[in-house]
Amino acid sequence: MASERFDLVVIGAGPAGYVGAIRAAQLGMKVACVEREPALGGVCLRVGCIPTKALLESSERFAEASHDLAGHGVKVGGVTLDLEAMMARKDGIVTNLTRGIDFLFQKWKIKRYLGDGRLGGEGLVQVSGDPVVELAADKVLIATGSSSATIKGVEPDGDRVITSTEALALAEVPGRLLVIGAGVIGLELGSVWARLGSEVTVVEYLDRILPGVDGQVAKLAKRLFGRQGLKFRLGARVRSARAQGAQGVVEIDGAEPLVADRVLVAVGRRPNTDGLGLESVGIDVDSRGFIPVDERFATRAPGVFAVGDVIGGPMLAHAASHEAVACVERLATGWGHVNREATPWVVYTDPELAFVGRTEEQLVSAGVPYRSGTFFFKGNGRAVTLGRSDGIVKVLAHADTDRLLGVHILGPRAGDLISEAVAAMELGASSEDLARFCHPYPSLSEALMEAALAVDGHPIHA
Ligand code: NAD
């Protein structure tokens, strides 16, 4: 017998689940949210995006104070690292933000259940515990997210062979850190520890870093990261990684084993569907373990919807939130959609890398006629004064219509700059529109304008 009835029961309180719950409550639904962790916010807030950004910021300050300030005429002596304080700052930020969601849940009268949520047949969600609590749900939103994936032969032990969760909380700086995977997590966390003094080697199966990023931009990024001390072993397939005493040993095809103090496994993420009771409502996962949904985010089970990492797609926090909002708005109003073409990506390295839309390689393989304009930050006055003039902006536009097809930025604050391109693409702008917007001087955003001008062959400062 269900203890209570809700219009919507959300399973999972990450950026998909908690945002969906809040939006549904705003739209007048009676909402419950089931989450197994005491802190709300999911991987992103607890052990993902937010703590990573906190450590990226702190490690960047440390690196800057150690060797970049002299050029500004600022002399700093005896810079030392207090890793414990750095970690405490990160933990404080996480606590602060996760408590903020508690506050928002109270504000919107979302009933919170602590435990593992599972589907218990049509219209029923069970929350683990003694006794099990049963909730009657008119609609269910699955937002259970993802976990670190691993590869055959690689078994993280949480100590020498670790995932991103442990890499965010190491008690000392590893002398040598080996990262498996030159994707987003590998490069962000590799950057943190390299700045704090680790000798970092990134082993990547492909012959390039950052699959999915425009090739020209990724190539330049690799050069810049290399200058910061990151070493790369590209085209190297890892066969095994294991702890051996106080070290990690990694075997790669056709080469001597590599030894490091810690080995970080960053080879992607897999959807969390274990124990969800999907079979009770007839949902089968696809070949990669994701829950199939249609454009309304509806699963094949009536009244059961799914959003975020558990359905695949970009596996980005903001994409997950966007999907959740679109899903519940559609439930309440009949309208709501997500434009994947205008979903930005950001990699928070130094410099940052951000893009929206398609890469040059994708346009070539799809046979889309395009024109390209590039502009280097060294021609941007603001970037030069910041001492951050490495990087490039690349604008891709349709050769016939001039409609923007992709914008790629490697440079200072790229993650903020990309929003202008997102807005332009959402509104169907052309590269000429972007070039004609009046940009403040001196600002980093002028680099975007210049790259747009370059599409037509006439940038001013290049
Ligand atoms: P990823 O898919 O970005 O990168 C994994 C890398 O590992 C790939 O380059 C792949 O070729 C490589 N790889 C796979 N098997 C290998 C092997 N046997 N040997 C060597 N290399 C191998 O995955 P990730 O970096 O773990 O990130 C996971 C997800 O989390 C991604 O979807 C990412 O978008 C998301 N994320 C996003 C952000 C952000 O937006 N800033 C930050 C962190 C994570």
User: How many distinct structural domains can be found in the chain?
Assistant: 3
- Can you tell me the distance from the alpha carbon of 142 to that of 293, in angstroms, rounded to the nearest whole number? 11
Note whether 276 and 141 are same-domain residues: yes
Task: Write out residues with Cβ below 6 Å of ligand 1.
Answer: 151, 180-186, 188, 203-206, 211, 237-238, 266-269, 315-316, 346-348
- 152 occurs within a structural domain: no
- 399 occurs within a structural domain: yes
Confidence of residue 317 (pLDDT cuts 50, 70, 90): very high
- Residue 2 scores a pLDDT above 90: no
The pLDDT tens digits for 12-37 are 999 999 999 999 999 999 999 999 99
Query: Of 267, 301, 323, which residue is a domain's last?
Result: 267
Strand 4-11 to strand 31-35: parallel, antiparallel, or no bridges (unpaired)?
Answer: parallel
Which residue among 185, 206, 233, 343 is best mutated to probe the pocket of ligand 1, counting the most ligand atoms within 8 A of its Cβ? 185
Query: Of 307, 338, 369, which residue is a domain's last?
Result: 338
CA-nearest residue, atom 24 of ligand 1: 268
Cα of 185 to ligand 1 centre, how many Å? 6
Note whether 251 and 356 are same-domain residues: no
Which residue among 269, 321, 347 is best mutated to probe the pocket of ligand 1, counting the most ligand atoms within 8 A of its Cβ? 269
Note whether 277 and 247 are same-domain residues: no
Note whether 239 and 98 are same-domain residues: no
Q: What is the pLDDT, as a whole number, of residue 321?
A: 98
Average pLDDT over residues 104-110: 98
Q: What percent of the chain stands above pLDDT 90?
A: 99
The residue ranges of DSSP E strands in 303-426, in sequence order, are 304-306, 345-347, 352-357, 370-376, 392-398, 404-411
Note whether 302 and 174 are same-domain residues: no
Nearest atom in ligand 1 to the alpha carbon of residue 187 is 25
**Domain containing residue 369: CATH number:** 3.30.390.30
Amino acid sitting at position 425: M
Is the Cα dihedral 288, 291, 294, 300 positive or negative?
positive
The pLDDT tens digits for 65-103 are 999 999 999 999 999 999 999 999 999 999 999 999 999
- 114 occurs within a structural domain: yes
Note whether 132 and 281 are same-domain residues: yes
Note whether 101 and 44 are same-domain residues: yes
**Domain containing residue 126: CATH number:** 3.50.50.60
Note whether 173 and 251 are same-domain residues: yes
Identify the DSSP state of 15.
Answer: T
The pLDDT tens digits for 395-441 are 999 999 999 999 999 999 999 999 999 999 999 999 999 999 999 99
Nearest atom in ligand 1 to the alpha carbon of residue 206 is 11
- 460 occurs within a structural domain: no
The pLDDT tens digits for 91-100 are 999 999 999 9
DSSP 169-186: S-SS--SEEEEE--SHHH
CA-nearest residue, atom 12 of ligand 1: 181
Nearest atom in ligand 1 to the alpha carbon of residue 309 is 32
The pLDDT tens digits for 142-161 are 999 999 999 999 989 999 99
Domain that holds residue 122: 4-147+271-338
Note whether 318 and 200 are same-domain residues: no
Contact 120, 229 (CB under 8 A): no
Cα of 285 to ligand 1 centre, how many Å? 22
Note whether 199 and 127 are same-domain residues: no
Number of other residues whose CB lies within 10 A of the CB of residue 391: 25
- Can you tell me the distance from the alpha carbon of 405 to that of 419, in angstroms, rounded to the nearest whole number? 15
The pLDDT tens digits for 433-446 are 999 999 999 999 99
Query: Of 267, 297, 318, which residue is a domain's last?
Result: 267
- Can you tell me the distance from the alpha carbon of 92 to that of 98, in angstroms, rounded to the nearest whole number? 10
Note whether 261 and 281 are same-domain residues: no
The pLDDT tens digits for 197-231 are 999 999 999 999 999 999 999 999 999 999 999 99
Average pLDDT over residues 45-64: 98
Cα of 184 to ligand 1 centre, how many Å? 5
- 153 occurs within a structural domain: no
- 237 occurs within a structural domain: yes
Confidence of residue 1 (pLDDT cuts 50, 70, 90): low
In 3-state terms, what secondary structure has residue 452? helix
Which helix (H) or strand (E) segment holds residue 252: the answer is strand 247-252
Note whether 235 and 377 are same-domain residues: no
Average pLDDT over residues 255-281: 97
Confidence of residue 3 (pLDDT cuts 50, 70, 90): confident
Which helix (H) or strand (E) segment holds residue 96: the answer is helix 83-107
Q: How large is the C-alpha radius of gyration of the chain?
A: 23
- 350 occurs within a structural domain: yes
